[in-house]
Amino acid sequence: MKTIFRLGITLLTVCFLLTACDQQEPKVDLTTNNLDQASSPYLLQHATNPVHWQEWKEPVLVEAQKTNKPLLISIGYAACHWCHVMEEESFEDVETASYMNEHFVNIKVDREERPDVDQVYLKTLELMTGSGGWPLNVIALPDGRPVWAGTYLPQEEWLSTLKQTRGILQNTPNKAEEYAQKIHEGLLAESLLPASGNKARFRQDEVESAVNRWRQYLDLNNGGLKTSEKFMLPASQEFLLQYAYLNNDNQLLNYMDITLTNMSRGGIYDVVGGGFSRYTTDSLWRVPHFEKMLYDNAQLASLYAKAFKATGDADYLKVAEQTLNFVQSELALKNGLYASSLDADSQNEQGEKIEGAYYTWSENELKQLLQDDFEAFALTYDINPEAVWEEDQYILYQSQSDQELAEALDMELTIFQQQKKHWLEVLKTARLQRAQPSRDDKALVSWNALTVIAFLQVYEAQPKSHYLTDAKELIASIERHYFREGGRLFHSFKDDKASINAYLLDYASLASAYIQLYQHTGEQSWLDKSRELVEIALEDFDNPDQALLYFASSENQQLMIRTTEILDQVIPSSNALMAENLFLLSHYYGIKTYDERARAMLNLVKEQAIQSGAGHAKWLDVMNNYSQPFYEIAVVGKDAVSLSRKLKQEYLPQSLLAQGSSPSDSYLLKNRFLKDKTLIYVCRNNTCKLPVTSVAEAMELLQ
């Protein structure tokens, strides 16, 4: 995001004091770079910098206070292009590194590995400037309270900033203390929402009001939001798709078609190898920053699968399957898990590491590869002087439909599509000879859980047996690698080692994956596992002052600001995901306290969600469950699995599915099994209509 790459000097503060530490902790040498033992690929990228980088660890922070040097905290992630630019310009520069080493204790943080640390400093930056981004750089007092924060700065400006901020610390220390207290108070106020004086009641007109406010920010011509850069927001798009479908909202249905079509035809989508980049730097989805993230692609595969079910558009299903093919071919690890990302940068033919080298093409290269087909290819993918990107390189995107292109080339549609497939196979073969982007091979439990869900969603849309098998194999790998004593989770796994206590997002995502596995298999054990995770989360992340849960566990290192995640980012809010889990489990088990907790959580954020729908899409999704008819569908009998599979092929928002092929004592199936029949019960709030025997009859009841 260009608007966040160049932040000027901003005096920022936050009371981020460290807890009392055991003084017997081993001493850390702050005069050398100690990242060579890190587990994070991002930190390992910086292990050869002349900067004396340290990991964010308690012994480092204790030793830093003893030196009375200010901290320089730099936060990023392995696939971040501008993180690499700043490393090359500043952190590999001997003069800059020397100044940093002399005057600061330098700490590197992988935001994906330590989202709790990232959240505190990012919230501070956002509170002061209204925006944020990475690399996120912070200069702080020895106890961790920031006095400056910003994102990318060129080398000269960065060094000037260091010198100027150090001068402020030396000459006006009281001023820094005053700023710290103000920001501390602001963060505390933001972290605790005032209790709602109203009963937890939710109305459809409130959801409608939120959507209508949201409409003014939608780019109805190009899709996405009205911004100069385009980010894919799967949670928002999924909610809008559901809302448009349920309310027969033609404007939003058309908007969703434009958004999904332009994303899949734009340069943000890799037509050669599949998979989406993180975002584009233009408003037409054409010029991406080329990093590919697991969480983006898992959620987008789910979104396109649901769009196929809602519309019947086969192109959506094709994109969903190609996206999963990318995930499995490029991100699969030998341990059965999936890696976090692919880098935006890679080496070109000259051995220089530059952005997009793996994905872009010169005109001469395309002519050599495609020969007589080049002219048709050029028309298809806008290879012309007006569309050149950088240094005679082209990004492949399609600005017309296949039908329009086939007509322009005077070809049958099926023949054109076969020809296009052939072209892309030629390019894929050639591209495999290039130096590939580096891969961040740490595996995060939440992102892998989202991938389980993606397999299941695509399986629903196109019941190919391998997608269900893939989901089960991945969940088995998650259970092997992340679970620890007492049923609790680790957050990250790399090099045969799990590390870091899991965060609320990890528990919420995996609990959701278990619920969906139950819906597909009818195996009660999956549902029980979801409930066990939710119970642990309610204990370890509980905030006694409000219904919302903390982001970090009570077992984690306690930072002065213990954040509560409310807003959706690219991944939905962990609290909203947990509220959805509680809502569903309350129906599956008949547990009233789960429903009450979900209502209380939603009630705290309801007004925010109505006023600012785009950042609260998952909350609005939960609100829909309470404000519109919500159906429990129970399929019971010897053919329950096959009938359930057919039902799951339908687009059925505002419903949950329970199935059983044998007698069961579970809450929704008890006393409903008949030996020689398979019955479908359509219920609402435990009130059921007469059972039916076919999917068509059930769909009539659901209409």
Residues 659 and 569 in one domain: no
CATH code of the domain covering residue 82:
3.40.30.10
Domain end point (choices 170, 191, 212): 191
Cα distances (angstroms) measured from residue 489 to each of 111, 311, 532, 541? 19, 38, 12, 13
Structural domain that includes position 679: 631-702
Residue 353 within any structural domain of the chain: no
**In terms of pTM, does the model score above 0.75?**
yes
DSSP code of residue 27? P
If DSSP states are collapsed to H, E and C, what string results for 267-290?
CCECCCCCCECCEECCCCCCCEEC
Residues 588 and 644 in one domain: no
How far, in Å, CA of 369 to CA of 426, rounded?
A: 7
Residues 366 and 221 in one domain: no
For the chain, the straight-line distance linking the first and the last C-alpha, in angstroms and rounded, comes to 43
Residues 176 and 299 in one domain: no
Report residues of the chain scoring pLDDT below 50. Answer: 1-24
DSSP 3-state assignment of 528? helix
Average pLDDT taken over every residue of the chain: 91
pLDDT at 149: 86
Residue 547 within any structural domain of the chain: yes
Query: What type of residue is 663?
Result: P
Residues 404 and 465 in one domain: no
Take residue 563 and report the two structure tokens written for it.
């954040």
Residues 403 and 520 in one domain: no
Strand-pairing partners, residue 684, are 687
pLDDT at 26: 63
Q: Which of 132, 175, 112, 123 is nearest to 561 (CA)?
A: 123
If DSSP states are collapsed to H, E and C, what string results for 594-640?
HHHHHHHHHHHHHHHHHHCHHHCHHHHHHHHHHHCCCEEEEEECCCH
- Cβ-in-10-Å burial (0-12, 13-18, 19+) of 476 comes to exposed
Cβ atoms of 312 and 245 closer than 8 Å: no
How far, in Å, CA of 61 to CA of 11, rounded?
A: 22
Number of neighbouring beta carbons within 10 Å of residue 190: 15
Residue 645 within any structural domain of the chain: yes
Residues 36 and 139 in one domain: yes
If DSSP states are collapsed to H, E and C, what string results for 128-182?
HHCCCCCCEEEEECCCCCEEEEECCCCHHHHHHHHHHHHHHHHHCHHHHHHHHHH
Number of domains in the chain: 4
pLDDT at 147: 82
Residue 354 within any structural domain of the chain: no
Residues 620 and 672 in one domain: no
pLDDT at 9: 33
Residues 101 and 222 in one domain: no
How far, in Å, CA of 634 to CA of 659, rounded?
A: 6
Residue 609 within any structural domain of the chain: yes
Residue 196 within any structural domain of the chain: no
Domain end point (choices 626, 645, 664): 626
Residues 218 and 240 in one domain: yes
Residues 548 and 643 in one domain: no
Domain end point (choices 626, 656, 688): 626
Residue 350 within any structural domain of the chain: no
Residue 88 within any structural domain of the chain: yes
Quote the radius of gyration of the chain (alpha carbons, Å): 26
pLDDT at 523: 94
How far, in Å, CA of 340 to CA of 442, rounded?
A: 6
pLDDT at 195: 67
CATH code of the domain covering residue 480:
1.50.10.10
How far, in Å, CA of 635 to CA of 660, rounded?
A: 6
How far, in Å, CA of 221 to CA of 232, rounded?
A: 16
H or E stretch at 182: helix 173-191
Q: Which of 674, 677, 673, 679 is nearest to 693 (CA)?
A: 679
How far, in Å, CA of 178 to CA of 200, rounded?
A: 40
Residues 653 and 639 in one domain: yes
- DSSP characters over 80-124: -HHHHHHIIIIIT-HHHHHHHHHH-EEEEEETTT-HHHHHHHHHH
pLDDT at 21: 37
How far, in Å, CA of 226 to CA of 84, rounded?
A: 28
